[in-house]
Structure 1
Amino acid sequence: MNDFLELVKSRQSDRAYDTTRDVEPEKLERILEAARLAPSACNAQPWRFVVVTDKELSKKVGKAASGMGMNKFAKDAPVHILVVEESANITSLLGGKVKNKHFPLVDLGIATAHITLAAESEGLGSCILGWFDEKEIKSLVGIPSNKRLILDITIGYSIKPKRGKIRKEKGKVISYNKY
């Protein structure tokens, strides 16, 4: 278990990638398998992962993610894993209605965590992007217009050193037996 905590401690949002190094296909396959195996409400698996590895397409997707001065580094990321929300199964949808929760977004968050931790375990950096031109990226990779592109996860070899994590004190975010 200590190994897992060390992995969590070392994972960070990397915003600078080595543009001369490709991500090995076998590493990507292991990362995607970690995502595929992620838990989901009622085993709905409401996701599709569109993996962009083509250099020219990756640059275009990165440009679409770097609008309004945000995410300028994205154009240099060798890989983009686009997280698309798919339909949940009926059990998940009904449970969500009863509990007033949209379980697919929770499920996609869990799968995204699996992706970024798996990338870290493979020696790769990652960054989760929520700010991008959804319409443009969907057009570039052929995601149907009726689907939601929720996240763009950049993957590559980081060229910056690890930073210390800044987190709230335990007492501000953890309590036992009462709020």
Structure 2
Amino acid sequence: MTTIQSNSQETQTNEQLNATFFDVLNSRRSVREYDSSAVISEEEIRDILATAIKAPSSSNMQPWRFLVVTDPELKQKLLPIAFNQKQVAAASAIVIVLADLEMYTLSEKIYGSAIEAGFMTEEVGNNFIENSTKMYSALPAERLKEIVVFDTGLVAMQLMLTARAKGYDSVPMGGYNRDQVMELFNISDRYLPTLMLPIGKAAVEGRETTRLSVDDVTFFNKF
């Protein structure tokens, strides 16, 4: 194979990958009507989550936790908690994204694995462990909350796009009673529910929406 042919094939492959990526971005819709007969296996959910958790986070603290609800009876219990939004009962799975307000307690596990993988030296890793534990544990509660809510937003977006890439639909939901979710699942105050995310197969495609233009929302070098 000549160099020209090789470069041409590589360019075509890159273009195909780019097209697939932008197709996923542009085809994602917020779907509220689901095929209630569609089933997502635990293996598929784990696969989606495994990609989603590659999202970035502050100091790589990865504060996201996922409560996955697939049991029909539990979904029915969630229905009134989510103000009777029908997608909660009809979707194949409901992923409740939680923020761990004490995520820094896992810093030794996080950086220890990075040391073991050879991504950083033991000295550097131990410094990260000490500094992150000290810093995050001393933050005011509201600032800590801002950080973990922001980070769970990043993973939630990645989760939705990954689901779309695998042929599933989703809709991000902030409209539900957080206190009742915590009571239903006996969740401690260490964890903050940030998002409820139904995932499944659309029975009715999500409607298209418009966006403000780039000129409406962007400022270059001055505000």
Name the TM tier (shorter chain).
0.7 to 0.9
Is it true that 1:15 corresponds to 2:59 in the alignment? no
Residue 122 (str. 1) matches residue 122 (str. 2)? no
**Is the Cα–Cα contact under 8 Å of residues 63 and 75 in structure 1 kept in the other structure?**
no
Matched, 1:85 2:115: no
8 Å Cα contact 1:61/1:137 also seen in 2: yes
The TM-score with structure 2 as length reference comes to 0.70
Question: Distance between the aligned counterparts of 2:170 and 2:92, measured in 1?
Answer: 11
* Partner of residue 43, structure 1: 60
Return the letter of the residue paired with 2:136: L
Structure 1: give runs of 5+ residues left out of the alignment. Answer: none
- Superposed, which structure 2 residues align to 1:79-158 within 5 Å? 79-86=93-100, 87-89=102-104, 91=132, 93=136, 102-158=146-202
1:159 has 2:219 as partner: no
* Distance in 2 of aligned mates of 1:96 and 1:4: 38
Give 1:56 deviation, angstroms. 1.2
Partner of residue 87, structure 2: 73
What SS is found at the alignment partner of 1:33?
helix
Inter-partner Cα distance in structure 1 for 2:23 and 2:220 = 24
Counterpart contact for 2:29–2:208, Cα < 8 Å? no
* Structure 1 pair 142–34 and aligned structure 2 pair: CA distance change class (3 A): farther
Q: Cα–Cα, structure 1 residues 149 and 82, in superposed 2: closer, same or farther, change >3 Å?
A: same
Using a 3 Å threshold, how does the CA distance of structure 1 residues 146 and 25 change in structure 2: closer, same or farther? closer
* Paired residue type of 1:120: R
Identity of aligned residues (%): 28
Gaps of 5+ in 2: 1-17, 105-130
Q: CA deviation at 1:85?
A: 1.1
The whole-number CA distance in structure 2 between the counterparts of 1:144 and 1:4 is 38
In structure 2, what is the Cα distance between the partners aligned to 1:30 and 1:174? 36
| One-letter amino acid matched to 2:159 | I
Amino acid at match of 1:39: P
Moved more, 82-91 or 123-132: 82-91
* Partner deviation per Cα, 1:73-93 (whole Å, 9 max, x = no partner): 322222110111102436363
Q: Structure 2 vs 1, CA of residues 162 and 108 (structure 1 numbering), >3 Å: closer, same or farther?
A: same
Name the SS of the counterpart of 2:34 in structure 1. coil
The 1:103/1:146 distance shift into structure 2, 3 A limit, reads: closer
Could you tell me how far apart the structure 2 residues matched to 1:95 and 1:105 are? 18
The alpha carbon displacement at 1:146 in A equals: 4.5
What's the RMSD between the two structures over aligned residues? Answer: 2.3
Residues 1:4 and 1:96: Cα distance change in structure 2 (over 3 Å): farther
Distance of 1:130 and 1:22 partners within structure 2? 24
Task: Kindly state the Cα deviation for residue 96 of structure 1 after the two structures are TM-superposed.
Answer: 6.7
- Structure number with the higher helix fraction is 2
Given that 2:64 and 2:99 are in contact with CA atoms closer than 8 Å, whether structure 1 keeps it comes out as yes
